[in-house]
Chain A
């Protein structure tokens, strides 16, 4: 039989909560009944009614307390009190709407900014990847202990033969696969366009344990070498290109080596690697000469650990395998190790520091906002001394008073949290829009329940931070003092001023820390922007074109198009290159040698150069200076002697002091043929503005088979480059209507290169600005308060002949003194803290004196501005009025 006890209990609790008056009346009546019965009994013993009554009351033993105990037994008092406090608070806040609005606004800014940044941190760093058992998915990379890594990317790539050995010799993995993503020209129906396509090895989908929502994954027949091949498409591509219709299966897409039939559609969440539209088996279209070369590191590798295998065990197994391969193939594998990393750690590796620093910065803003609100509340607490005193006199315990005041700050914080959430949902959209496009998991940023929990959490915590000090302060009121002072100026002035002073110093110091960090980042960003890239990006239009045709036909396209473009009005120079400056990930690198080719085992340790396949005129179009020799011409054709242009960095590194023109060089790219150096070009920062130029070897596109069917045409224009887009498109379409094109300007591409530092600098700048404004308000508040407090004193001073200037100096001096202490503390903290920024700074040291001087000057100016109004008010005090107020 069920036990309905909980139901009875609930009914009673609800009754107590909602029928409080009735419950209380019943309690009253019950006690009354008891007293009457007792009185009757005592009177029966011969007592007078008065005596009987007093005996009865005495027997109850402190009747009011007993009643309170009975109420306590109902265990809803705290809810009751809370309710009463809330209503009281709401009434209070309604009475001073200005204060309430200001406090809520300040905190909403702080909480909103924090929530917005947290939503990014949550989406990018914290939320688990949306695959089955994501913790078991790992990346396998191939760092070398001897060769100098040219970029972060280079160490991540593996060669197919090495991968095959990893796969066959390891036992820690359920599945292991390699893949490479590329922007490929495809034809869907009759349109030619670019698509993000990823070629994958057979076990790729098993690594992610992903199942198609339509059709099937690749069959054994489709993935075997020379097999039929097939395509699996993303949900988004299905929707955009086939309107989500079921007849997508069996349709073919051209351009990926051969027309491939679509056999499956993946679920909406699956886009790995980022933004992929199409997946196709690597074996069916592999036409790369690197397929059998252990040195050809061109693929990324991923694996799924077996359930029982730890990351450490997998790592030690792979280390053993790598060592074995190193011994077996010293010429290609010398110094190569294997690193096993969880996929999520690998994805977010670079942005982790940036995001945590931003979270720290925005946390500092919140602290400042708290300090500010605390100052506000403190001011209010002063004004409320009398009210608190009366409450205390009427029997409220100190705990009860503090609780009421904390409830007040809690209510403020919750309002602020709610408004902050609005700001945040807007702010997090702005962040996503501003964020560098290579920020991983960008699409996963949203306000989810964790973000909501975070907002609620910081709202509650901050309410304690800014509410507790003023509450404790208020509750420490000396009753008789407060009541005696009669409501006016009932402050123990010294303690109050000191507390507020400490708060102002704290927020100034915090603002200084943020300002310093922002200053350093800004200076670094300036340096990054003004660095000489080695070419002139202004007025350069780029047109990427991919010819879906065999390579000779593709070359023909460019041979036809380039002269036509050169002849257009407004075109100063035109060229074409396999990879644009700064697009290092699409560049080829390889070792180079002079005069003769050494045996293969010496290749891995040789210095390597970027190998750029270019058309004649590219140097002029990009504004890369030719230091000596000549540019390529249309005459440097396949049947002519092979030629190359090298850059100064290569000469500096390998032929210091010699004349390189006429020397023979081998640049290992598509073949190891000797080439004659015909020119020396200036250095270009191909790896982005922050990294030194590296050796580079330019080779003409007509002499090299393996430059693929895609080139980026670069056009230097006399006017606005973007205006030429339509003309170029017409020219290209006239030559071949099935060539997809993509236009952008060199300027736009470069701004993408510095997107991450810009994002960081911008956000730090915004936070620092916010911090300074809040600190300014804080300084103003404390000085205005002081002036109001000391108005008699100033009156007396002025009456005794003090000049306006001396009063202004007195007040400002006080503000400046506080600011100086804050500045000192802040600078010390900055010098300790900005070291964290070191890896983000370009040509700027974390202790850059100029930045700190600028911070100090700016802060001084801000304090003077903030202090001027109250100081001026002090100077204008009419001694008569001030003294009469006493």
Chain B
């Protein structure tokens, strides 16, 4: 499976969990939201979104329901489950630790 180039391994899961945690969304909306909030920095190809979402669903972290959108189309809406919430908290803590550590290293002054 090809990985989105600019994303650190494993962070796609975190982003998806977070986005879905805010409100139930279908995959198309998730991809749009990702672009929006990251100001187009995080580029995820449309195609690679789906395997990631299906994996999260199989893990039991998000669940999928078919609902009707505002303009009357049927779409598959993803929402966070309780174990998904715990996974998100865990992943977030991990990410913050990692990001903190990396920024510490990056900020070291060269002599």
A interface list, Cβ under 8 A from B:
3, 5-6, 8-9, 12-13, 26, 29-31, 33-34, 36-38, 56, 59-63, 66-67, 69-70, 72-75
Contact A30/B76 with A5-B83, A8-B81 known, Cβ cut-off 8 Å: yes
Separation in Å of the B81 CB from the closest CB of chain A? 7
Contact yes or no, B47 A12, CB < 8 A:
no
Interface residues of B, Cβ cutoff 8 Å to A: 1-2, 26-28, 31, 45-48, 50-51, 54-55, 57-60, 63, 66, 73-76, 81-83
Is the beta-carbon distance between B83 and A38 smaller than 8 angstroms?
Answer: no
What is the CA–CA distance of A59 and B50 in the complex, to the nearest angstrom? 12
Let me know if B45 and A9 touch, CB within 8 A: no
A63 touches B75 (CB 8 A): no
Q: Within the complex, what minimum Cβ distance (angstroms) separates B37 from chain A?
A: 18
* Chain A positions within 8 Å of B82 at CB level: 3
Question: How many A-B contacts are there with CB distance less than 8 Å?
Answer: 76
Contact (Cβ within 8 A) B47 A59: yes
Partner of A70, one of B51, B66, B73, B74: B51
Q: Are A12 and B58 in contact (CB under 8 A)?
A: yes
**A9 contacts which of B1, B51, B59, B74 (Cβ < 8 Å)?**
B59
Interface of B is mostly: helix
Inter-chain CA distance A73–B63, complex, in Å, is 15
Which residues of A are found within 8 Å of B48, using beta-carbon distances? Answer: 61, 66
A782 to chain B, nearest CB (A): 48
Residues of B within 8 A of A26 (CB): 66, 76
Known pairs A3-B83, A61-B48; A33 contacts B26 (CB<8 A): yes
- The SS class assigned to the A binding surface is helix
A-B contacts, 11 of them at CB < 8 A, read A29-B74, A29-B76, A36-B73, A59-B46, A60-B46, A61-B46, A61-B48, A62-B47, A63-B47, A73-B55, A75-B58
List B contacts of A6 (CB < 8 A). Answer: 60
Q: Is there contact, CB below 8 Å, between A12 and B57?
A: yes
Bound state CA distance, A70 and B1, in angstroms? 10
Q: Which residues of B contact A74 (CB under 8 A)?
A: 54, 58
Give the shortest distance, in Å, between B72 (CB) and chain A (any CB).
12
Chain A positions within 8 Å of B31 at CB level: 34
Residues of A within 8 A of B27 (CB): 30, 33-34
In whole angstroms, what is the CA distance A69 to B50 when docked?
8
Chain B residue nearest in CB terms to A76: B58
* Seed contacts A31-B50, A62-B47; 10 additional CB < 8 Å A-B pairs: A5-B59, A8-B63, A8-B81, A12-B60, A33-B26, A33-B74, A34-B46, A59-B46, A66-B50, A75-B58
Which chain A residues lie closer than 8 Å to B76 at the CB level?
26, 29-30, 33
Contacts of B26 in A (CB 8 A): 33
- Distance in angstroms from B35 CB to nearest chain A CB is 11
Q: How far is the CB of B46 from chain A (nearest CB, A)?
A: 4
Neighbouring A residues of B45 by C-beta, 8 Å: 59-61
Q: Is the CB of B83 within 8 A of A66?
A: no
- Contact present for A30 and B46 (CB under 8 Å): no
Most A CB contacts (10 A, CB to CB) among B28, B31, B66, B74 go to B28
Residues in B whose Cβ lies below 8 Å from that of A38: 28, 46
B58 touches A73 (CB 8 A): yes
Cα separation A598 to B85 with both chains bound (whole Å): 99
Distance from A217 Cβ to chain B, minimum over Cβ atoms (Å)? 60
Using Cβ atoms and an 8 Å threshold, which residues of chain B touch A37? 28
CB neighbours of B81 from chain A (8 A): 5, 8
Q: Does the CB pair B46–A70 fall under 8 Å?
A: no
Q: From A37, which residue of chain B is reached at the shortest CB distance?
A: B28
B51 contacts A33, C-beta separation under 8 Å: no
Of all chain A residues, the one with the shortest Cβ separation from B86 is A3
